Amino acid sequence: MSRKFLAARKDIADEFINLARKKGMTVTKLLNETLRNTIALEKNGLTLNKAVDEYLIIKTAQESGFILVPAELVYSLLDKATPKAIEEIMDNWRNIGKWCGKCFSTRFTNNPHDLLKIYIANIIWGLSDFIVEGNGESISIRCIGSSLNEKYTRGIANFIEGFMESLDYKCIRKDIVKGIISLKLRRT
């Protein structure tokens, strides 16, 4: 078996050596495993940094009480809810969004654009399109999810509004129809 030597910063190499020891592996075995997994991620269109970021977001969501529930079950429950219950549910979506915005902005130091993009892409599934544009003062958000029902679409919009409120943005324009959300927000 032929080998190649790779260079790394001393502090990183020392940490890697300690990690290999803790795992009961040789440095070569851990390095090969790490490189093999990095290559597999890249072949699937994902960088190692992005995979780590997404993992940390999913882990934080899981630790925060999020669970995976089939969309059809959520749609069915929303369809059976009374109008009064729907309004309470929509308020809950907003409040959970506020909490998540605070939680994630504390744990991750990304700017509001990046934080929202990364977070929503990993937590709200079923969106075929999620676009965040603008500068620090004004942000436009567009979401498209053709399979989303009307009430779930409203819930996602409320969640995003709450999320952005926690980052000091106020919604100044909102258009919501089944599967489509368009929000314009301004920093307060």
What is the reported pTM?
A: 0.80
**What strand order describes the sheet that includes 180-187?**
129-134, 138-144, 180-187, 169-177
pLDDT of residue 174 exceeding 70, the answer is yes
List, for residues 90-122, the tens digit of each pLDDT value.
999 999 999 988 888 887 766 767 778 878 878
Query: What is the overall mean pLDDT for the chain?
Result: 91
Secondary structure of residue 138 in the 3-state scheme: strand
CB 167 within 8 A of CB 101: yes
For residue 18, the model assigns a pLDDT of 96
List, for residues 40-94, the tens digit of each pLDDT value.
999 999 999 989 988 888 888 888 888 888 988 999 999 999 999 999 999 999 9
Non-local (6+) Cβ contacts of 186 within 8 A are 137, 138, 139, 169, 170, 172
pLDDT of residue 4 exceeding 80, the answer is yes
CB 101 within 8 A of CB 145: no
Contacts for 110-115: CB closer than 8 Å, 24+ residues apart: 111/136, 112/136, 112/139, 112/164, 112/167, 112/169, 113/139, 115/167
For residue 110, the model assigns a pLDDT of 67
Give the CATH fold of the 67-187 domain.
Muramoyl-pentapeptide Carboxypeptidase; domain 2 (3.30.1380)
Non-local (6+) Cβ contacts of 107 within 8 A are 56, 60
Contacts for 129-134: CB closer than 8 Å, 24+ residues apart: none
CA angle 71, 114, 68 (to 5 degrees): 20
CB 101 within 8 A of CB 163: yes
List, for residues 120-167, the tens digit of each pLDDT value.
878 888 888 999 998 878 999 999 998 899 999 999 999 999 999 999
Non-local (6+) Cβ contacts of 19 within 8 A are 30
